[in-house]
Structure 1
Amino acid sequence: MKNIVITGATDGIGKLAAIQLAKEGHSIFVHGRNEVKVSATIAEIKADTNNQNISGLVADMSDLNAVKQMADKINRELPGIDVLINNAGVFKSSNILNKQGVDLRFVVNYLAPYLLTTMILPLLEKTKGSRIINLSSAAQAAISYDAMLGKSPISVNESYAQSKLALTMWSFRLATELHETSVIAVNPGSLLNTKMANEAYGQHWSPAEKGADILCDLAQSKEHEGITGKYFDNDRGAWANAHQLAYNEAAIDELIDFTQKLID
């Protein structure tokens, strides 16, 4: 039985993955930004799977102080973590920037998972063979730091793509720094039948289960044991190359430096 933390697990592929992994008997920690929705999801998963080892975590990922509080709670209450799935993400939103004036998609899709993972790394590192699964995307674009700081205009699509490249770049760097923990970036599939895709584009290409299945597979399959610092493209169903900047050490250094200044 594994301890598995899944962010953004009250909806979409995060919720489907939580149900699937709960059916296999694992202890699941379900994160959402709304306490009522988290509680309802926990009750639903328990009823569906007959697995009572389902717990909740609540934090608004656009608020880094809330992410810090959630990380503190995890560090206090969990003895170790086998799998962290950084699934929470945002595309469309009524707000362009968060309360601190940073691009909302950059915060939720990249800074929040960076901060959460960094803070709970000791729990992952003490668990042999632990895995971090970061939700990337087929959409990846070079980062404009002025745009991320709200200093220049940017489209939602461009902002989203930049946040996903940032997550992928950091995933590859983190993989080089960890010895007992694997780090994988994954595009779970383009235009899956989820609330996010339907709100953004009004259509879908594939069932949401396609994305949930690959998350569960990457999280626990023996086939992927020890694989780290790689990108899985579920549109192709294979390991693939990410954006070229994901392999550019100078660009990654610049990103990490920018990130640390925002978080400190």
Structure 2
Amino acid sequence: MLKVLFQNKSMKTILITGSTDGIGKLTAIKLVKSGYQILLHGRNIEKLNNTVSEIKKLSKNEKINGFVSDLSDFRSIQKMITDITKEHSEIDILINNAGVFKSNIQQNKDSLDIRFAVNYFAPYMLTNGLIPLLKNSNSPRVINLSSAAQSTVSLEALKGNEKISTQEAYSQSKLALTMWSFYLSQKIDFLNVVAVNPGSLLNTKMVQEAYGQYWSSADKGADILYELAISEKYADSNGKYFDNDKGTFSNAHNDAYNQEKITRLISETNKILNL
């Protein structure tokens, strides 16, 4: 049975991206039922509103807000940052859950691969934009959804100058996210940043579309996100990688510990995003 270990639940505000289905939605339901204030995110406004209404009815908890953004569109992300900042002065936990594997759209408006755009650039932008709100929390956490699939990042592919396969783009985007997670954990001392593989081939829409099969229930992923978000057990896990296939903290790809490669990745990322 999941235990809530933070006090003053009503004061804890948790933002979950990609929370209109899959493990994002399941995690939101678990947290809402435990009394936390949840900020849902979705790309489709109608689906988002329906999800907000559904979870409110299911949980009998009215502390739910929805924010819409197309995470492949950097201008849309900036608008969501502005919208959240207008309504909230503090975020305690940010779960960068949204991700994409297969897509009808291969590039975003800036000619970047859609996997890099949504899986890496979006959480990078969103988290940096919400740093002032995270700083207002007593114990802010950032949880980044990585994957068992990680492969060396081609900076040319990152910039949209090299075409690579869907699988390779996905794997590279997840390693980029993990590398940045470790960088962020060192750069901002008040954050507790964890990268997590929620489990391989969980029963989600993205996995079904990509592989047509699954190994484990989506609840496996939601359970670990719930625990990483609110359990005191993970209060001092900054800069670590949790592998839910193993059920423990483990080592990510070797490149995630290569400071030279991390520095080049962050430098190119900031150039692309004009930061």
Residue 91 of structure 2 is aligned to residue 81 of structure 1: yes
Distance 1:149 1:124 in 2: 29
> Which residue of 1 is the match for residue 126 of structure 2?
116
Alignment of 1:171-182 (within 5 A): 171-182=181-192
Q: Cα offset for 1:179?
A: 2.1
Flag structure 1 segments of 5+ consecutive residues without an equivalent.
none
Residue 129 of structure 2 is aligned to residue 129 of structure 1: no
Residue 163 of structure 2 is aligned to residue 146 of structure 1: no
Distance 1:73 1:173 in 2: 27
Contact 1:146 1:152 in 2 (8 A): yes
Contact 1:30 1:55 in 2 (8 A): yes
Distance 1:149 1:117 in 2: 20
Counterpart pick for 2:60 among 50, 59, 75: 50
TM-score by length of 2: 0.95
Distance 1:255 1:153 in 2: 18
SS of the aligned residue for 2:142 comes to: strand
Q: Cα offset for 1:152?
A: 2.3
Distance 2:160 2:179 in 1: 21
SS of the aligned residue for 1:232 comes to: strand
Residue 212 of structure 2 is aligned to residue 205 of structure 1: no
- The number of residues matched between the two structures is 264
Residue 195 of structure 2 is aligned to residue 185 of structure 1: yes
**Aligned-residue identity in percent:** 54
Distance 2:176 2:162 in 1: 18
> Which residue of 2 is the match for residue 26 of structure 1?
36
Contact 1:128 1:181 in 2 (8 A): no
Point out the more displaced range, 93-102 or 206-215. 93-102
Structure 2 letter corresponding to 1:94: N
Contact 1:63 1:99 in 2 (8 A): yes
> Which residue of 1 is the match for residue 26 of structure 2?
16
Alignment of 1:95-106 (within 5 A): 95-106=105-116
Counterpart pick for 1:238 among 233, 248, 273: 248
Distance 1:211 1:152 in 2: 32
Per-residue deviation, residues 88-116 of structure 1 (Å, max 9, x unmatched): 00000012111111111001000000000
Q: Cα offset for 1:153?
A: 2.1
Distance 2:272 2:160 in 1: 13
Distance 1:28 1:154 in 2: 37
Point out the more displaced range, 37-46 or 120-129. 120-129
Contact 1:129 1:226 in 2 (8 A): no
SS of the aligned residue for 1:123 comes to: helix
Per-residue deviation, residues 190-224 of structure 1 (Å, max 9, x unmatched): 00000000000000000000000000000000111
TM-score by length of 1: 0.99
SS of the aligned residue for 1:140 comes to: coil
Residue 266 of structure 2 is aligned to residue 217 of structure 1: no
Q: Cα offset for 1:226?
A: 2.0
Flag structure 2 segments of 5+ consecutive residues without an equivalent.
1-8
Structure 1 letter corresponding to 2:78: K
SS of the aligned residue for 1:193 comes to: coil
Q: Cα offset for 1:62?
A: 0.3
Contact 1:3 1:28 in 2 (8 A): yes
Q: CA RMSD in A?
A: 0.8
> Which residue of 2 is the match for residue 226 of structure 1?
236
Distance 1:118 1:155 in 2: 29
Contact 2:159 2:272 in 1 (8 A): no
